[in-house]
Amino acid sequence: MPIRILQIDAFTSTPYTGNPAAVALIDGGEVPAWPADASLQALALEMNLSETAFPRRRRDGQWDLRWFTPATEVDLCGHATLATAHALFQLGLVEGTEITFHTRSGPLVCRAARRGGAIAMDFPRAEAEPCGPVEGMAEALGAEVVDQGRSFDLLAQLSSPQEVAALQPDFTALARIDTRAVVVTAAGDIDGGAAHFVSRVFGPRVGITEDPVTGSAHCITGPWWGQRLGLTELDAHQVSARGGRMRVRLAGERVELTGHAVTVLDGTLLTDL
């Protein structure tokens, strides 16, 4: 069965910026069986993007969704979820303005905004519990860490957004730290921007030296800065080389992440999975 595959830049409305994800549609009308995990992983490695998403239609009209980096399957991925929702809306594969994805992190709901083409994603809130200095962190980042927290990722707060933007980490040293990824953040924005905070995300342990824009990390940074700034709605700027922006709204035990996406490639996989 031919598989349609798209490449979509997420958390941006400008092609070749934001975070690219591949979306491989495991959909043949009737509910298909999942290909072998090794085949999904092989395609993710072939695409060599930070994530490849695999949505599969369910009999109830909702969707299963899985995410793979080039090295492993992951529990939660924001930009590839945004890319998948964008693809399904764009291709007319869902009715209405809402999609429910069933994932390893539970049900995730995506809603198309009424104006402007943005998509809002309902994600689980993740609190970063303050922790003491992590051995080797400051040396690996090459910067002074002023505060730290640990959730499913490790968060490191620096003193300024400019310092975050200028980081040149030692990725070999970062890979020795026991965490999926290191999220580095600071209050404010660069170049006169209006964001409440900036971030960068490094994940050499899962095959991603730097992720361009990371939705799941904002499940941590949103609450972190919401508490410190006294806000429930925040604008975020991930200051990687490609860059990307999103709106973060804190809603009890959930976090709503809103952003745009743009399709840059649409084709057909010529080999079976």
Q: Once rounded to an integer, what is the mean pLDDT over residues 37-49? A: 95
**Residue in the block written with tokens 């200051």:** 239
| 122 contacts 115 by C-beta, under 8 angstroms | no
Q: Once rounded to an integer, what is the mean pLDDT over residues 36-53? A: 95
- pLDDT for res 114: 64
Q: Once rounded to an integer, what is the mean pLDDT over residues 212-221? A: 94
pLDDT band at residue 65, thresholds of 50, 70 and 90? very high
Residue 116 has pLDDT above 80, yes or no: no
Residue 28 has pLDDT above 60, yes or no: no
Q: Once rounded to an integer, what is the mean pLDDT over residues 120-130? A: 93
Average pLDDT score over the chain: 93
36 or 207, higher pLDDT? 36
90 or 32, higher pLDDT? 90
- pLDDT for res 1: 66
Handedness of CA 240, 23, 87, 5 (dihedral sign): positive
pLDDT band at residue 207, thresholds of 50, 70 and 90? confident
51 included as an active-site residue: yes
74 or 29, higher pLDDT? 74
How far does CA 267 lie from the centroid of its chain?
23
SS3 state at 227: helix
* Token couple for 104: 């390893």
Please check whether the domain covering 129-251 is classified as CATH 3.10.28.10. no
Q: Once rounded to an integer, what is the mean pLDDT over residues 156-173? A: 97
Q: What number of CA atoms fall less than 13 Å from residue 109's CA on the CB side?
A: 9
- pLDDT for res 239: 98
Residue 12 has pLDDT above 60, yes or no: yes
What are the residue ranges of helices labelled H in the chain? 37-47, 78-90, 137-141, 161-166, 171-174, 218-229
Q: With CA atoms as reference, report the closest residue to 218 among 193, 245, 242, 178.
A: 245
- pLDDT for res 197: 98
- pLDDT for res 9: 97
pLDDT band at residue 41, thresholds of 50, 70 and 90? very high
3-123+258-269 folds as Diaminopimelate Epimerase; Chain A, domain 1 (3.10.310)
- Per-residue pLDDT of 126-154, as tens digits, reads 999 988 889 899 999 999 999 999 999 99
- pLDDT for res 60: 87
Question: Is the fold of 3-123+258-269 the same as that of 129-251?
Answer: yes
- pLDDT for res 117: 85
- pLDDT for res 156: 97
Angstrom distance (rounded) from CA 187 to CA 15: 27
Please state the domain extents for the chain: 3-123+258-269, 129-251
For 113-143, b where at least 16 C-beta lie within 10 A, e where not — what string?
eeeeebbbbbbebbebeeeeebeebeebbeb
**Marked catalytic residue, from 51, 95, 139, 253:** 51
- pLDDT for res 30: 60
192 contacts: CB under 8 Å, gap ≥ 6: none
